[in-house]
Amino acid sequence: MDVGVQQFVALSGVLFAIGLYTALAKRNAIAVLMGVEIMLNAVNIAFVAFSRFIRGEDPLAGQVFVVFTLTVAAAEAALMLAIAVAIYRGRESVEVDEITDLKA
Amino acid sequence: MSTVRFGPELALLVAAGLVVLVDLAYPRRMVSLALGLLGVAAAAVWTLALGFGGGRGSAFQGTLLVDNFSLFFAVLVLAVTGAVLLASWDSLRAMGGREAEYVALMLVAATGALLLAGVNDLIAIFIALELTSVPQYILAAFSRTNRSSEAGLKYLLYGAISSAVLLYGMAFLYGATGTTSLPGIAHALSAHDGRTAAAVVGMVFVAAGFGFKMAIVPFQMWVPDVYQGAPTPVSAYLSVGSKAAGFAVALRVFLTALRVDGLATDWANMFAVLAVASMTIGNVGALWQRDIKRLLGYSSIAQAGNLLVGLAAATATRGDVLGASGVLFFVAAYAFTNLGAFIAVIALSHRLGSDEIDAYAGAWRRSPLLAVVLAFCLVSLTGIPPTAGFWAKLYIFNAAVRGGMVWLAVIGVLNSVISAAYYLGVVGVMFMRPPAEERRISLSPVVGLPLIVAAVGTLAFGLVPGPLIAAAEHAAAVFAH
């Protein structure tokens, strides 16, 4: 079987769904972050696959995009961990459903 | 020398670096704030010079545009940033030696917001969006209290998920068209039937990503929590600057790249439904709030719904940019009004030591100026003349009617009636109820200045809306074809 753009898009779709489910269903802030990372990697697969298979005026743009995505994802992860540490200092927990000071 | 067009952003970045460096030698909040304001002023002067000196055009191979639209938002964002920096004066004292970082992060967030109004390429849009978001995540958690950390965590988690969704949409738009430049996408989509599955998926996901920044339903869950927990000046910035940038980039992307037959009808209908949901959920949610910052949070969701009415109407009639100019006028009027309200809340809550609406009882007797300004701004948010908010609602609902969406305008007006209940409820508490104590509430002149400017602006554009309408029409004309 030839592996074409459909297979890659299907893979990225499955990964994205897994990541989104993890991000929405997990209660630990760190696990939510892991879900977001999976989503971002699904995005990267889609970009690289489109860049390889699509005829357009800008075939390299997809690969360039991935470099930026990776960088920004690293920055977001660092910030997320810093805030998680700050939260943990205050409460000894990073379970998101125990962090409920803010309510009506 | 097209790089000159990058000048305002560059001025802000240089100022941000200088603020941090100078803080090493002179750790004074006065110095940090003055340098920050200087940077904002330099960027504003540069922006005006570009506007009046014929500096329109593009930079970096067409990635960054300087046109009437980006200039309009640049002036707005810079004014908001300056006002919020001034209003942070009292809050800066409580930040224990981290004033410079606060000011620098504000400037970087403003840089991202400025870029967001001008960039013309998906990659640049993503970078600009993150450049304005990441500093705001930090700012939301800046007080290091439990509540502030919680606000930062929630904002960051929702933000990270929504930027992944946005990226996924961008990947599909790229897959559908083979390019990341907005005019290129429009060209590729209109060359053949643009309404392919990939383009529709891309459009919906991109709308979801921007929806987070605009704080519309169903991406509004973070708003009340973050507004309540973040330092109040940061909430003020989020509700005005961040929202304005979100609508700027949404207008640019949807009206430049995705305004193709079929696809345009899809997103116009989608935004119309989301507008109704945002207005209704925002207004009904606000009715039960006892905390003024949460109330303003729900109110900002409802106002985002009003703005979406303009976005939905933006494509209804071809070649007509009434919807787009309605969004621009509304954003500007809302900026003055909501900033006025937030700065009054900053000043009142700082002295009262509470954000509870009950604590505002008799504020009229304790500080007539603050109470009158807050009441006036709340009246403007309701949409009662003679305020800027009245014209904003009239303009945007008129755009909906002209675009054939009469039902949308009717729902919008009904929602304004609901909103009167909670806006005027706060006014009632301030003016009708007796104060708990008689001690006067003082107001520092640094915070008073932006307060007066916002209030005067709300009144002035309420009495003479003509010049602002002309500017908005001028800016929206870049989307006419």
B431 exposure class (CB count in 10 Å sphere: 0-12, 13-18, 19+): middle
Q: Write out pLDDT tens, residues B464-480.
A: 999 999 999 999 999 88
* Half-sphere exposure at residue B163, Cβ-oriented, CA atoms within 13 angstroms: 30
Q: Is B353's pLDDT higher than 90?
A: no
Q: Write out pLDDT tens, residues A6-39.
A: 999 999 999 999 999 999 998 898 999 999 999 9
Q: Best interface-test mutation with A: which of B126, B153, B295 has the largest number of A CBs within 10 A?
A: B153
Q: What is the mean pLDDT of residues B331-359?
A: 92
Q: How close does chain A come to B444, measured CA to CA in Å?
A: 29
pLDDT of residue B152: 93
What is the pLDDT confidence band of residue B238, given thresholds at 50, 70 and 90?
Answer: very high
Sign of CA dihedral B283, B284, B288, B291: negative
Torsions phi, psi of B106, nearest 5? -60, -45
Question: In the predicted model, what is the mean pLDDT of chain A?
Answer: 89
Contacts of B153 in chain A (CB under 8 A): 29, 83-84, 87, 96, 99
pLDDT of residue A100: 74
Q: Does A39 touch chain B (CB under 8 A)?
A: yes
What is the pLDDT confidence band of residue B261, given thresholds at 50, 70 and 90?
Answer: confident
Q: Write out pLDDT tens, residues B163-207.
A: 999 999 999 999 999 999 999 999 999 887 777 888 999 999 999
For the stretch B189-207, what's the b/e string if a residue is b when 16 or more beta carbons lie within 10 angstroms of its beta carbon?
beeeebebebbbbbbebbb
- Distance of alpha carbon B237 from alpha carbon B179, whole angstroms: 34
Is the ipTM here above 0.90? Answer: yes
How many domains in chain A?
1
Q: What is the mean pLDDT of residues B254-267?
A: 88
Tell me, what CATH number does A26's domain have?
Answer: 1.10.287.3510
Residue A26 counted as domain residue:
yes
Question: In the predicted model, what is the mean pLDDT of chain B?
Answer: 92
Distance of CA B440 to the CA centre of its chain: 33
Domain, as residue range, for A30? 5-98
Q: Does B134 touch chain A (CB under 8 A)?
A: yes
pLDDT of residue A31: 93
What is the pLDDT confidence band of residue B128, given thresholds at 50, 70 and 90?
Answer: very high
Sign of CA dihedral B220, B221, B223, B224: positive
- What is the helix (H) or strand (E) element at residue B66, kind and residue range? strand B64-66
Q: Does B60 touch chain A (CB under 8 A)?
A: no
Of A55, A83, A101, the CB nearest to B152: A83
Residue A62 counted as domain residue:
yes
Residue A88 counted as domain residue:
yes
- Distance of alpha carbon B172 from alpha carbon B290, whole angstroms: 43
Q: Write out pLDDT tens, residues B66-85.
A: 999 999 999 999 999 999 99
Q: What is the mean pLDDT of residues B370-375?
A: 94
**β-sheet bridge partners, residue B59:** B64
Q: Write out pLDDT tens, residues B29-50.
A: 899 999 999 999 999 999 999 9
- Distance of alpha carbon B383 from alpha carbon B396, whole angstroms: 12
Residue A103 counted as domain residue:
no
* Residue (of B177, B137, B128, B136) closest to B157 by Cα position: B137
